[in-house]
Amino acid sequence: MLLEQSPIKDLPAWYSLDTTENRFLLSVHKQGIIGSAEYYQLLINFLYSHINTQCPFIPPSADHEWGFGPIISEYQHPSLSDWLIYECSLPTPQGGEEYRVASTLSMIFRQLSEIKHPTNSNFPQMLEVHIDVDSSGRQHSIFVKIRPALSRWLDFNAGKGRELDIIKVMREVYILMRGSVEYIRKSNLNATIRSCEIKLVCPGNGCWLAPAATPYGQRVGEAYEMTPHNIDDIVQLLTLTVGVAKVDKLALEDYLNSHL
């Protein structure tokens, strides 16, 4: 679970997400980079006990690609001096890198979840992500904390067709990673915004990411958690993660256009 017990307020951003048809990007505030070598080793040891990869972990560095194999390229943000970009290629059926990519992202999101102090960012954190990768191959999960700023954005954009951009990129990356369009239907690759809630659906046996059940639904401007259902493989996990990244990107673009 990601939610704290105390009310959640808008906080200056420490990371944001973006995606293209074949790449995943995290913009990370330099004040949000924490962790000694010992800290990373604890994370790595934990992940090795849960993931299906024997690839050695390459420590973070701007001088070379890093992660569970050469997965992440790290470089200075082109327009924001306080930010770095972590970028990785999404896996293809021929590459066999799906576990290494997902496990590296899992480690990064775990590290970013430890941030306890605000940055000097001039825009709010829209969401937080937690990914679990399971060595059995059948217990992967993604949990997303929708923060107040994103809740308000979703409510404002309900019924305005913003889902089309989300569906488009999810379809592109699913085809890239699966190597086929065979199982794609409108009903099983979809995104729906209703009030402040969003649901992402991926091809599979009832595979989706949706708001956690509550007796009265979610309230606009309040944080809530999204939980997964039936994520059977890494392609589904990463497709949903990319959908979340697109939501974050759209909301942040609108915020910056209206506030800066």
Q: Is the pLDDT of residue 209 over 70?
A: yes
The number of folded domains in the chain is: 1
Read off the pLDDT of each residue in 69-73 and give the average, rounded to a whole number: 93
Question: Other CB atoms closer than 10 Å to residue 37's CB: what's the count?
Answer: 7
Paired tokens of 173:
């990356």
Looking at the predicted structure, is the pLDDT value of residue 82 above 90? yes
Is residue 76 within a helix (H) or strand (E), and if so which, with residue range?
Answer: strand 73-76
Structural domain range at position 232: 15-259
Mean pLDDT of 192-219: 90
- Sequence-ordered list of residues with C-beta below 8 angstroms from that of 29, at least 6 positions apart, any chain: 13, 14, 15, 82, 83, 119, 121
DSSP assignment of 96-118 equals --HHHHHHHHHHHHHHHTT--S-
6: confidence class by pLDDT, cuts 50, 70, 90? very low
What per-residue confidence (pLDDT) applies to 184? 86
2 in any annotated domain: no
Give me the pLDDT at residue 199, please.
97
Residue 87 belongs to a domain: yes
Rounded to an integer, what distance in angstroms lies between the CA atom of residue 204 and that of residue 202?
6
The mean pLDDT of 94-99, rounded to a whole number, is 86
Q: Is the pLDDT of residue 44 over 80?
A: no
Given a cut of 60, is residue 35 above it in pLDDT?
no
Residue 16 clears pLDDT 90, i.e. is over it: yes
* pLDDT higher than 80, residue 117: no
Higher pLDDT, 66 or 135: 66
**Lowest mean pLDDT across 46-55, 167-176, 202-211:** 46-55
Q: Examine residue 255 and state whether it is found in any structural domain, yes or no.
A: yes
Q: Determine the average pLDDT of the residues in 13-42.
A: 82
What pLDDT, on a 0 to 100 scale, did the predictor assign at position 139? 78
Tell whether 61 is covered by a domain: yes
Q: What is the DSSP string of 164-205?
A: HHHHHHHHHHHHHHHS--TT--TTTSEEEEETTEEEEEETTT
pLDDT band of residue 39 (cuts 50, 70, 90) is low
Whether residue 210 is predicted with pLDDT greater than 80 in this model: the reply is yes
pLDDT surpassing 90 at residue 215: no
Mean pLDDT of all residues in the chain?
88
Residue 48 lies in a domain: yes
Instruction: Give residue 38's pLDDT.
Output: 59
Residue 43: pLDDT above 70? no
Q: What is the pLDDT of residue 213?
A: 79
Strands 57-58 and 141-146: unpaired
Specify if 4 maps to a domain. Answer: no
User: What whole-number distance in Å separates Cα of residue 26 and Cα of residue 33?
Assistant: 12
Look at residue 238 and tell me if it is in a domain: yes
**Is a pLDDT exceeding 60 seen at residue 226?**
yes
83, part of any domain: yes
